[in-house]
Structure 1
Amino acid sequence: MQYEISPVPVSAYPEVTAVWEASVRATHDFLTEADIQFFKPLILNEFLKAVTLCCIKDETGRIVGFAGTAEQKLEMLFVDPAARGRGIGKALLAHVIASQEVTKVDVNEQNTQAVGFYLHNGFKIISRSALDGMGKPFPLLLMELEK
């Protein structure tokens, strides 16, 4: 399926954060409610403005998936759980690979669905970190697109 991919304006950050939260609740079962509440304001107020964002909207104009990149690295890719299985994540990934030359992504090791998604889409695991970027005990797999 073909999707129109568009930039995300700052005014849509609350909507993007809501997609992030819904997606995290559906896929990151290793996070506690306190973890989600810790990360949520950081996503909204810090992390979104630190990346180049693009999104896919549904027929009503609601954002159903988004990706954020910085320096050829995919920093975030989240899809609304109600829209999963429609190729939205794959379309966003293909777009950032083609338009921003993305070759790397860090994935929570405990998010086995995401690990499988990236492996299926041509990435390989190159290393592992016991801590996430915030120093929290959520191991990361550093993955790179196979050439």
Structure 2
Amino acid sequence: MKYLKEFIALTSFIVLAAVILTASTSCSQFGFGNTGHSGHSGHSGHMGNMGNMGQNDENHDHSQPNEEIKKSDLIREGIVDLVALDENKDGKVFQDQMHWNVISDKTDSCPICFMKLTEVKLSDARTNLINNGYYVK
């Protein structure tokens, strides 16, 4: 009886592992989840054919940003002055959670990944910038 219980437990574990492995493979195969694509780690806005936000080519190139991205006023370069960016002086800004130097004082979307900017306190925005290699005034 003891061996039968162990056999059933082991068999159940193997079947469960196979189901989980099959499900995760199927999900990534059809573009669900943050699987990314060839040569690029996954992130929101790049989920296969679903939700690709206008990125029609599975192998599109991020190394050459388009002119619209280059000209965006939301992309902060050099030393970031968060106090100056907080135009309404509410102690908060909107910051992209993937491209930390994309910051606005009003709700907007990131010109790089098209994600909605998240409202954060100035202290949190400062920490995010510093932790990701940016300089803050």
Same fold? TM cut 0.5:
no
Q: Per the shorter chain, which TM-score range?
A: under 0.3
More strand by share: 1
Structure ranking higher on relative contact order (CA contacts 8 Å, 6+ apart): 1
Structure with greater Cα Rg: 2
TM-score normalised by L of structure 1 = 0.24
Q: Which structure shows the higher helix fraction?
A: 1
